[in-house]
Amino acid sequence: MHGPAIELQKKQPANRLIKLMVDNLTKLRSLVDELLDIQKLEAQKMKPAIVRGDVSGYLRMLVESFSSLAESKKVDLTLVQHQKSFIGFYDEQMLLKIVNNLMSNALKFTPSEGRVEVNVTINENPARLSFSVTNSGEAIEEVQLTRIFDRFYKGSNGDYEGTGIGLALVKELAVVLKGEVSASSSKTEGTCFQVSLPIDKESWKDSPVGESQQLVAKESIVTADVPQDSIKSSRDTDKELLLIVEDNDDMRAYINILLEDQFRIIEATNGKEGIALAEKEVPDIIICDAMMPVMDGFEFSKHEKDTLQTSHIPIVMLTAMVSKKSKIESYNQGVDHYLTKPFDVEELRSVLQTLYRNRKKLRELYQKDFVDLKPDGVALVSKEKQFLQLLKQYLEENYSKSDLTVSDIASFLKISDTQLRRKLKSISGFSTNEFIRKYRLEKAAQMLGAKTSSVSEVAYAVGFENLSYFSKVFQAEYGCPPSEYTLQKAE
């Protein structure tokens, strides 16, 4: 299937779905190759193919091939080499597999803005290669370190993807190369994998030796994990804003492809990033995974529903967890809908459309509340009601101030101007300035109906300094000039 998929990609190079399919088939082939390698090692049918070459230059080429992936993940990748060039004896393919597994593993477990450092040292007489791959991030518990090289072992944290094959392969390859590999981890120093291999001629005197070609197979360079368009900036459209919180790059890319025609899309790789992005952008809807590193989807959902700025946002949980307990936990945290992976595309689209329609109906209900100028009488049935009550209470005390600004209101609510604008627009359909104007006009209508003040006195009393503008917007709202409104009320 890999070959036909590549041919299809050649014919449709711009098709992102085909590219995603090719990337995943490449990963699948790599996984199968690793399983076959382990079988060969078990059967003692994999023998070192030793070459004589510049081992320092070869290692540098392998590590630098991960530069673009590190950059895309906002990880600082550093290579420290004490010898820029050194002629030694080694197996190119086995060393490539060891380095690729350790580098992929380090970058996968390193958070954004973290670091990965590769330190290479070569000791002489006899020549021995030692290199370490150290990454920042959460420490690995001691009990897990003792089993980390066991085949299919993934540790107690199931948040991360993986098969438990890569590190087992690293261990067995190191043994075949007459070397050793170890791991250490601490909260202050990070996680470090250390490899030591003999590269002197004497160690390989019984093996045929070739000359290194210093070539890295094209499919060995890791590119498939580079995130696809992590944030799209299309603020000039009327599409609703969708936040995808998902640690799997391919899954984010897939959802992006499916929904980019309907939504503007922003992305986060874990719950902690999702919180920061949601509070900054205040999306219209959120899709999140359940199991993620740093912060899972359950904790993320609870935080969003308990936070004033984001409590109104519908959340769809996508997860491979199918138990009744997981579903109940999701709903208890405020999740609006629960879909299991692999999900049906049409079902996902239908869920999003339903949530949008329900949000629209709720918006119409809240719009009716906006004309109620008795904030104490508004029942607190949700955080949206609480938000509206606080807003009305503030306006009740400040609507007469002609210099009242959006920033004044946002400051009172302890949120940003953007958060106020997007939340109010989402739950009501009104911009902040429209809401202020409607509130002032309703107060004006009450005063005019009471017939205790002139039109000009009413205009100034509700914060309008320009009488003609007041008359214009009043007529647009009530269908008649303010002077006629007074007469109509008299009749």
Tens digit of each residue's pLDDT (9 = 90 or more) over 428-486 = 778 888 889 988 998 898 888 888 888 899 999 999 988 889 999 998 888 888 888 86
Tell which residue, 374, 357, 484, has the closest CA to residue 439: 374
Q: Is the pLDDT of residue 321 over 80?
A: no
pLDDT score of 402: 87
Chain-centre distance for alpha carbon 47: 43
Quick: pLDDT tens for 220-231: 334 434 444 443
Confidence bin at 267 (pLDDT 50/70/90): very high
Query: Which of 52-61, 67-76, 159-168, 406-415 is predicted least confidently?
Result: 159-168
Query: Percent of the chain, pLDDT > 90?
Result: 22
Q: Is the pLDDT of residue 4 over 90?
A: no
- Tell me the mean pLDDT in the region 136-156: 74
- Tell me the mean pLDDT in the region 85-112: 89
**Distance separating alpha carbons of residues 215 and 92, to the nearest angstrom:** 9
Q: How far is CA 375 from CA 385, 427, 489, in A?
A: 10, 17, 24
pLDDT score of 131: 94
Q: Is 445 exposed, middle or buried (0-12, 13-18, 19+ CB in 10 A)?
A: buried
Q: Is the pLDDT of residue 154 over 80?
A: no
pLDDT score of 215: 40
333 token code pair: 């945290």
Between 330 and 411, the higher pLDDT residue? 411
Site of tokens 């990880």:
75
Residues 6+ apart with CB under 8 A from 136: 110, 111, 114, 115, 116, 190
Q: Is 302 exposed, middle or buried (0-12, 13-18, 19+ CB in 10 A)?
A: middle
Q: What is the mean pLDDT of the chain?
A: 80
Give me the count of residues in the chain.
491
Q: What is the DSSP letter of 66?
A: T
120 token code pair: 């290479």
Give the bridge partners for 319, in sequence order.
Answer: 340
> Computed over its alpha carbons, how large is the radius of gyration of the chain?
31
Q: What is the DSSP letter of 241?
A: E
Q: Is the pLDDT of residue 214 over 70?
A: no
Q: What is the pTM of this model?
A: 0.53
User: Residue 319: how many CA atoms within 13 Å on its side-chain side?
Assistant: 25
Confidence bin at 28 (pLDDT 50/70/90): low
